[in-house]
Amino acid sequence: MDQEKYKTENKILRLSLGGTITFTVFEIIASFVLGSKTVMTDGIFDLFDLLLLLPMFILVPFLYKPVSEKKPYGFSQIESLLVLVKYIVLLIVVINMITNNITVLLHGGHTVNATNVLIYEASLCVCCIIMYLVLHYLSRNYSSMIIKSELYLWKVDIVSTLGISVAFLFQIFLTHSPINFIIPYIDSSVAIIVALFLVKEPIVQIIKNLKELVLFSPDQQIMDEIREVVNKDISNYEYSLDFLDVTQTGRKTWIEVYVKSKNDTIKIKDFKKIQEHITKDLIDKFDQIYVEIVPAL
């Protein structure tokens, strides 16, 4: 099963990497040819995404290695660390793009050929949709944290290119209107809107991965979901749940279930069965799960 997951993840990352390289090269070239701040914003974001995708690609084989005494959490914390670094860098890039475009607006903005930008962005949007649909199809049976982050970035590209296309279509209609004086401000304004759209996910992921790195328990919704399964599975035995210790880092989830015996008797055979039941009930909801049953003293 792990081998199949690895093949799936490797295939998706290779395809995403190839697509990102191709689109990034086109976006950087197009930003200079078209002279558009919006296109440059998109290109810079994708360039940094590409640079941060490469170490992820190298890391993936290590994420399937078993845990050991020397590495009790395997390489899963490195995954959280790399995802954290990735989103911190992307957040810095986004903030920098916003400040740069505000400066351009304060200096009177600038004008670009709206028709050329519209044709370019609309074509790019179609290509991004095709790439996203292919990756989404390949990830239908398995989607790791890294795959989800890549799918998110392709969705971002779809929304941003579509939004940019609409904005420059609007600029074309404004050319001979009484309010055509706002045209020089459209390109940088759209770049700022696109950048603001990109801000939310990095902040959410930074908080999430920081919690994983310091081994905080996952969100309350996940805890409640695990607790419900645990209570159901131990209800058939002479034990009650005393305490639940859940650690989630990267794609690995460790669950320690502390139980109290109702008759002061502990049976190792029961512990084994409870462990198997909990693992079976949660295996489809978590990527790599480890369950331990511990007697509460």
- The pLDDT of residue 283: 82
Q: Who contacts 172 (Cβ-Cβ below 8 Å, separation ≥6)?
A: 114, 115, 118
Whether 281 and 244 share a structural domain: yes
- Tell which wins on pLDDT, 64 or 170: 170
Indicate if 61 and 147 belong to the same structural domain.
yes
| Per-residue pLDDT tens digits for 145-165 | 778 878 888 888 888 788 888
pLDDT digits 0-9 by tens, 211-244 = 877 777 778 888 888 899 888 988 888 888 888 8
Answer yes or no: do 114 and 249 share one domain. Answer: no
Q: Phi and psi (nearest 5°) for 292?
A: -130, 140
Of 52-61, 136-145, 172-181, where does mean pLDDT reach its minimum? 52-61
6 and 136, same structural domain?
yes
Q: How far does CA 46 lie from the centroid of its chain?
A: 14
Q: Within this chain, do residues 175 and 137 fall inside the same structural domain, yes or no?
A: yes
SS3 67: coil
Separation between Cα atoms, residue 74 and residue 192, nearest integer Å? 40
**What single letter denotes the amino acid at residue 244?**
L
Domain at 97, CATH number = 1.20.1510.10
Together in a domain, 260 and 204: no
What is the predicted pLDDT for the residue at 294?
A: 87
User: What angle (nearest 5°) sits at the alpha carbon of residue 71, between those of residues 66 and 73?
Assistant: 75
Comparison of pLDDT for 38 and 192, the residue scoring more? 192
> Distance between CA atoms of 191 and 188, rounded to whole angstroms?
5
Confidence of residue 130 (pLDDT cuts 50, 70, 90): very high
Cβ-contact 244, 258 below 8 angstroms:
yes
Q: Read off the pLDDT of each residue in 256-261 and give the average, rounded to a whole number.
A: 88
Query: Looking at the predicted structure, is the pLDDT value of residue 95 above 80?
Result: yes
Q: Are residues 89 and 73 in the same domain?
A: yes
User: Do 195 and 177 share a structural domain?
Assistant: yes
Strands, DSSP E only, in 208-250? 239-249
CATH code assigned at 245:
3.30.70.1350
Q: Is the pTM of this model over 0.85?
A: no
Q: What are the residues whose beta carbons fall under 8 Å from the beta carbon of 217, sequence distance 6 or more?
A: 223, 245, 246, 247, 248
Q: Does residue 129 surpass a pLDDT of 90?
A: yes
Look at residue 127 in the predicted model and tell me its pLDDT. 93
Domain count, the chain: 2
| Close Cβ partners of 208 (under 8 Å, ≥ 6 residues apart) | none
User: Does 5 have pLDDT greater than 80?
Assistant: no
Q: Would you say residue 133 has pLDDT above 90?
A: yes
- Confidence label for 1 from pLDDT (cuts 50, 70 and 90): very low
User: How high is the pLDDT of residue 175?
Assistant: 83
Residue range of the domain that includes 291? 220-295
Chain Cα centroid distance, residue 137: 17
Rounded (10°) CA dihedral 253, 59, 133, 152: 70
For the segment 204-209, the average pLDDT, to the nearest whole number, is 85
Which of 213, 238, 272 terminates a domain? The answer is: 213
Residue 65 gets which letter from DSSP? S
Location of structure tokens 């419900």: 228
pLDDT bucket at 126, cuts 50 / 70 / 90: very high
- Please report the pLDDT score of residue 192 as a whole number: 84
Residues 134 and 152 in one domain: yes
How many Å separate Cα 26 from the centre of its chain?
24
The whole-angstrom separation of Cα 64 and Cα 193 is: 39
- Write the CB contacts of 164 (distance below 8 Å, at least 6 apart in sequence): 38, 39, 42, 117, 121, 190, 194
Last residue of a domain, which of 191, 213, 235?
213
193 and 71 in one domain?
A: yes
My answer on whether 147 and 267 are in the same domain is no
Query: 75 and 14 share a domain?
Result: yes
Among residues 213, 241, 259, which one ends one of the domains? Answer: 213
pLDDT at 248 (0 to 100): 78
